[in-house]
Chains A and B, each alone.
Chain A
């Protein structure tokens, strides 16, 4: 019922102010993204003229502009068509993420089921161990992980990134929480019907917690799509580095390149987010420790 009368009737100053504040904050939060997106359409010359202050360090003021004087697809053509190296990095990032996410989902589902629905000795010990691991920043374990992976001979291949990623503690924790919300009677009923645990897992538990698993997918994907420290250490050749590393190394001299590559990097995150945003929010809520 969106006619003018309704709006006038329901109008209250505080609400209006609130909405205004929200809009402002939203703009502030989104501004970098919008800016990057529009700037990727700038031509090289315009970028140089706009950012000459930054690029050459002289004192001309930098102009922030959102609308290009001449919109060109030059940047896109250069990145997407002229050479396969950027798209190659995109695909290698993608492959890395997909493998890690898939593996993580599998392992987490198995583990979550075990933790949520069973009791066995030392279960709590393990569980708290996992929680502790989840909270640690990456650097804490990176160095000795290198020695372990090296002794396995995995340094230099993508497996050195995939394998630790699959066993990521956050996934285990999250899925455990998700599964623990499933009412036990459903499972008991299935047991009485004679289902074994594997069937229970596949036919009942997982479909029931699609939201939670989806949230794991998106959180894990985002986390791994952005990973920067591990590839530098665990991979040897620079051509193997994923897109995130490449982006973090772009310096100011290649601005037009940077904008387009940035857009390229955002695309999967954006699509996945739009698709799974409800699941994401649910997942954040699930990770609450009760």
Chain B
């Protein structure tokens, strides 16, 4: 009797243990799946067009006319100031021409001396030729001088311009070749200049599209500013030892609002190109100098198919701020992980977002 009672107890214990284990299996399975990192995946896009762009900061540069003369001057009166608009022929600066007239008289007398020397009868051919050459040089110099000299002692604008900067003060005497003022021709278009490191510069060439963004006072409300976008093409590209200089000619409307040395944000866009394998940037990560993507793979598991992570090393072909073009073995059919709820490691089991 005891034996059967013992056996009955045993059977009950066994059943209890079995039920417990079954419950634990289900429970652990649920907890396990709940704790798995959840990932979002996306297939690698093939033959996708990508706009490669690069952002940098460029400086607005204007072609300027400068008024400068190769002799000393005394400034008598300045009629304009920075930012003024002048019409062709407008008076800009009055300078003291006393110095000019003295110089002109000096040269005239030098010429007269030469002419009288030439008029004397008894000169040999060599001397006469020499004197004639000297005379010609002196006369040419005089005419050049006269051209350069604002005979009236007035410096006027050659074209319709904006006065950019005035460098001198009234009453100041300046040395030769000093810039007196700089003028920007009305209607001249500024260009934006920027530099890129040489190895990167190769991506871009003359004629590529460039977009720029600059700040100008709002037309509606003086106190706020608008961001204005403009686009243009690279007009010039010039290499030097370390950097490459680019120049972009701006559009007509923008020229009105830009001012010299203004900093604008420049975005260079290579013309759209098709790339074989493109993934979103969120799928890519770097370790030291290598580029990796996380790819999902399926393998059979005890409770069905399991999805796990595999890190694949790829080569970066090109990238913009949204996607990256990559290349790697067998990348064609892969699905990359674009987002995950937790940091992933190689071989980790994950579950797909439903």
The answer on direct contact between A and B (beta carbons under 8 Å) is yes
Residue B137, interface by CB 8 Å:
no
Nearest 7 pairs of A and B residues by beta carbon: A88-B302, A84-B29, A84-B28, A87-B25, A80-B24, A271-B14, A83-B32
Chain B residues packing against A (C-beta within 8 Å): 7, 10-11, 13-14, 17, 21, 24-25, 27-29, 31-32, 300-303
Besides A84-B303, A87-B24, A88-B302, 13 other A-B contacts (C-beta < 8 A): A80-B21, A80-B24, A80-B27, A82-B28, A83-B32, A84-B28, A84-B302, A85-B302, A87-B25, A89-B302, A237-B300, A239-B302, A275-B7
Question: Could you tell me if A88 and B11 are in contact, using CB atoms closer than 8 angstroms?
Answer: no
- A91–B303 Cα distance when bound, in Å, is 11
Chain A residues packing against B (C-beta within 8 Å): 80-85, 87-92, 237, 239-240, 267, 271, 274-275
Chain A CB within 10 Å, residue with most, of B11, B27, B28, B29: B28
- A271–B15 Cα distance when bound, in Å, is 10
Q: What residues of B have a CB within 8 angstroms of the CB of A87 in the complex?
A: 21, 24-25, 28
Question: Could you tell me if A275 and B10 are in contact, using CB atoms closer than 8 angstroms?
Answer: yes
- A82–B301 Cα distance when bound, in Å, is 17
- A239–B303 Cα distance when bound, in Å, is 10
- A271–B14 Cα distance when bound, in Å, is 7
A78 to chain B, nearest CB (A): 10
Chain B CB within 10 Å, residue with most, of A85, A87, A90: A87
Q: What residues of A have a CB within 8 angstroms of the CB of B13 in the complex?
A: 271
Q: What residues of B have a CB within 8 angstroms of the CB of A267 in the complex?
A: 17
> Chain B interface secondary structure, helix, strand, loop or mixed?
helix
- A36–B7 Cα distance when bound, in Å, is 26
Question: Could you tell me if B25 and A84 are in contact, using CB atoms closer than 8 angstroms?
Answer: yes
Given A267-B17, A275-B10 in contact, is the A81-B303 Cβ separation under 8 Å?
no
> Chain A interface secondary structure, helix, strand, loop or mixed?
helix
- A81–B26 Cα distance when bound, in Å, is 9
- A91–B24 Cα distance when bound, in Å, is 12
Supply 12 A–B pairs (Cβ within 8 Å), ascending by A.
A81-B31, A82-B32, A83-B28, A84-B29, A85-B302, A87-B28, A92-B302, A237-B300, A239-B302, A267-B17, A271-B14, A274-B10
Q: What residues of A have a CB within 8 angstroms of the CB of B7 in the complex?
A: 275
Given A88-B303, A237-B300, A239-B302 in contact, is the A81-B28 Cβ separation under 8 Å?
yes
B351 to chain A, nearest CB (A): 14
Question: Could you tell me if A84 and B21 are in contact, using CB atoms closer than 8 angstroms?
Answer: no
Q: What residues of B have a CB within 8 angstroms of the CB of A88 in the complex?
A: 25, 302-303
Given A239-B301, A239-B302 in contact, is the A91-B25 Cβ separation under 8 Å?
yes
- A83–B26 Cα distance when bound, in Å, is 10
Q: Which residue on A lies nearest to B3, using beta carbons?
A: A278
Chain A CB within 10 Å, residue with most, of B10, B13, B25, B302: B302
- A240–B301 Cα distance when bound, in Å, is 8
B249 to chain A, nearest CB (A): 65
Q: What residues of B have a CB within 8 angstroms of the CB of A80 in the complex?
A: 21, 24, 27-28
Q: Which residue on B lies nearest to A76, using beta carbons?
A: B24
- A85–B25 Cα distance when bound, in Å, is 9
B147 to chain A, nearest CB (A): 95
A249 to chain B, nearest CB (A): 16
- A91–B25 Cα distance when bound, in Å, is 9
Q: What residues of B have a CB within 8 angstroms of the CB of A237 in the complex?
A: 300
Question: Could you tell me if A275 and B25 are in contact, using CB atoms closer than 8 angstroms?
Answer: no
Q: Which residue on A lies nearest to B28, using beta carbons?
A: A84
Q: What residues of B have a CB within 8 angstroms of the CB of A90 in the complex?
A: 21
- A92–B14 Cα distance when bound, in Å, is 18
B32 to chain A, nearest CB (A): 5
- A271–B31 Cα distance when bound, in Å, is 28
Question: Could you tell me if B300 and A239 are in contact, using CB atoms closer than 8 angstroms?
Answer: yes
Q: What residues of A have a CB within 8 angstroms of the CB of B28 in the complex?
A: 80-84, 87
Given A81-B27, A82-B32, A267-B17 in contact, is the A275-B11 Cβ separation under 8 Å?
yes
- A274–B12 Cα distance when bound, in Å, is 13
- A99–B301 Cα distance when bound, in Å, is 21
Question: Could you tell me if B32 and A84 are in contact, using CB atoms closer than 8 angstroms?
Answer: yes
B255 to chain A, nearest CB (A): 68
Q: What residues of B have a CB within 8 angstroms of the CB of A274 in the complex?
A: 10
Q: What residues of B have a CB within 8 angstroms of the CB of A85 in the complex?
A: 302
Q: What residues of A have a CB within 8 angstroms of the CB of B17 in the complex?
A: 267, 271
- A87–B28 Cα distance when bound, in Å, is 9
- A98–B17 Cα distance when bound, in Å, is 17
B41 to chain A, nearest CB (A): 23
B81 to chain A, nearest CB (A): 80
- A267–B31 Cα distance when bound, in Å, is 24
- A103–B13 Cα distance when bound, in Å, is 26
Q: Which residue on A lies nearest to B7, using beta carbons?
A: A275
Question: Could you tell me if A275 and B14 are in contact, using CB atoms closer than 8 angstroms?
Answer: yes
Q: What residues of A have a CB within 8 angstroms of the CB of B302 in the complex?
A: 84-85, 88-89, 92, 239-240
B9 to chain A, nearest CB (A): 10
- A68–B286 Cα distance when bound, in Å, is 47
B305 to chain A, nearest CB (A): 11
Given A87-B21, A88-B302 in contact, is the A271-B27 Cβ separation under 8 Å?
no
Question: Could you tell me if A81 and B24 are in contact, using CB atoms closer than 8 angstroms?
Answer: yes
Q: What residues of A have a CB within 8 angstroms of the CB of B31 in the complex?
A: 81-83
